[in-house]
Amino acid sequence: MSVPSTATEIAAAVSSGSVSASDVVESHLAAIDARESEIHAFNTVTADQARATAADIDARVAAGESVGPLAGVPVALKDNMCTNGIATTCSSKILEGWEPPYDATVVERLREAGAVIVGKTNLDEFAMGSSTENSAFGPSRNPLDTSKVPGGSSGGSAAAVAAGFAPLSIGSDTGGSIRQPAALCGVVGMKPTYGAVSRYGLIAFASSLDQIGPFAKNVTDAATMFEVIAGHDPRDSTSIPEPAADVHTKLNAGVEGLRVGVITELMGEGQLQGFEPEVIAQTRAAADALAAAGATVGEVSVPSVIYGLSAYYQIAPAEASSNLARYDGVRYGHRAPGGANTAAMMKASRTAGFGAEVKRRIMLGTYALSAGYYDAFYGKAQRVRTLIIDELAAAYQNFDVLLSPTSPCVAFPIGAVSDPLTMYLNDTCTIPSNLAGHPAISVPFGTGAGDLPVGVQILAPLQGEAVMFQAAAALEAAAPGGQS
């Protein structure tokens, strides 16, 4: 019997004994061997560990044990999640070769669910970027067109799923770093409510914004992955003290009577520019498809989202400047040789260890937090954040979910965007959900320029994952080109 392609099918086949976990792993390792050299989705491929895990799962199945909802399913992990004894680098020279002494909570939960970890994926250094070109170990490439970027910062995770290296992967999303690469690679990518998934063992970028979430080939698999990794964790002080949400119950309920609001400011009109016309056209087609499926669709204005990008690029660098202060060459990570004293050694280590984009954000964040400028920059950004939260809350008084493009554009050529400000515009549509702490998901819907995939984003209120997945499943079912 051939190896199934989706996580749901693999888990069912392995649990029933009709397919071995070992055969599943070998199939995916062969796919990695065939294309990894051209795509560079991984920083580390854990082939030996994956084979050992698969053999253990097969033994447990043969003994009649229940393995879990991800039995034998290969999963790729973004290389900013701690993995016991496996290098965790954040794609940075400053952590090159560092092996954590523990697993992140999400890694523990994946293992408990029967998943097989096949490797650690490439990312923009410390998750700072929108193209995975900022990795210290070289860029990842889009499997659909290797001359194009896969998006970022979780580009390796998106590429791994799109290339068939793993049916599921994990990313982190601080300003759109799951959803934007999902859109560019034509896969499903989901950011949960802040606090729904433990951040214990996630190497921090911006602690009030970071959240871990799944990439998958389809909405059902993403829902399964979310349920596995979500739920309270006492080791994370920001973890919501509730069990994981049940999102499967309404997954196939349809959208009859559901109220869908299309965010006017994120449809390429007004002050926010740079949206490709094909992306807008596909988003409008998605809204029409939901209306045809029974949803009530209307326009909704959230005026403050036009300031989201500016607020984010004050808040995120400020938090990064604090979080990245620990990388000093003393306790772990890269240490530059020489240095007349400790201060000189730290300066040399950080200069050599951090890349240009990370240095840029540390400097921006330190400046925003400095005496005399705190209120003018960081304080004002936090007030904008509150305004966005309030306006989104008002929008959800009239709508169950909101709709927008995920990315203003489809995948662009590697090396085409050299201006940081232009690169930051890729996060225009995704940042509001991070600032508010709300869940959002990107679903492939049609194609744009160059026949490359377009992602449409569904946003939901706090802990609104169930209704979000409900709308996402309907959108997937209505997508052109047989994407469901």
**Helical H segments across 17-101, by residue range:** 21-39, 47-62
3-state DSSP call for residue 446?
strand
Cβ–Cβ < 8 Å for 98, 53: no
Which amino acid would we find at residue 345? M
The single residue of 153, 157, 172, 407 carrying the catalytic annotation is 153
Distance of CA 82 to the CA centre of its chain: 16
**Helical H segments across 373-449, by residue range:** 380-395, 420-424, 431-436
Q: How far apart are CA 14 and CA 325, in angstroms?
A: 45
The strand pairing partners of 287, in sequence order, are: none
Whether 91 is catalytic: no
Positions of E strands within 73-199: 74-78, 116-121, 168-172, 188-191
Proportion of the chain in helix, strand, coil states, percent, rounded to 5: 45, 15, 45
Sign of the C-alpha dihedral, residues 78, 82, 83, 88? positive
Q: What would the two tokens of residue 224 be?
A: 């399964």
The single residue of 20, 22, 78, 120 carrying the catalytic annotation is 78
Sign of the C-alpha dihedral, residues 134, 308, 215, 217? negative
Cβ–Cβ < 8 Å for 330, 292: no
Strand pairing category for 296-300 and 440-447: unpaired
Residue 2 DSSP symbol: P
Query: What's the Cα-to-Cα distance from 311 to each of 207, 302, 308, 329, 377, rounded to whole Å?
Result: 15, 15, 5, 31, 8
Which amino acid would we find at residue 127? A
Angle at alpha carbon of residue 147, lines to 278 and 426, rounded to 5°: 45
Q: How far apart are CA 153 and CA 159, in angstroms?
A: 11
Q: How far apart are CA 426 and CA 351, in angstroms?
A: 28
Walk across the sheet containing 74-78 and list its strands.
42-45, 116-121, 74-78, 168-172, 212-216, 188-191, 440-447, 453-459, 401-405, 259-263, 296-300
Torsions phi, psi for 140 (to 5 deg): -90, 160
Angle at alpha carbon of residue 131, lines to 127 and 137, rounded to 5°: 65
Element spanning 251, H or E: none
The single residue of 154, 177, 239, 433 carrying the catalytic annotation is 177
Strand pairing category for 42-45 and 116-121: antiparallel
Whether 153 is catalytic: yes
The catalytic site residues sit at: 78, 153, 177
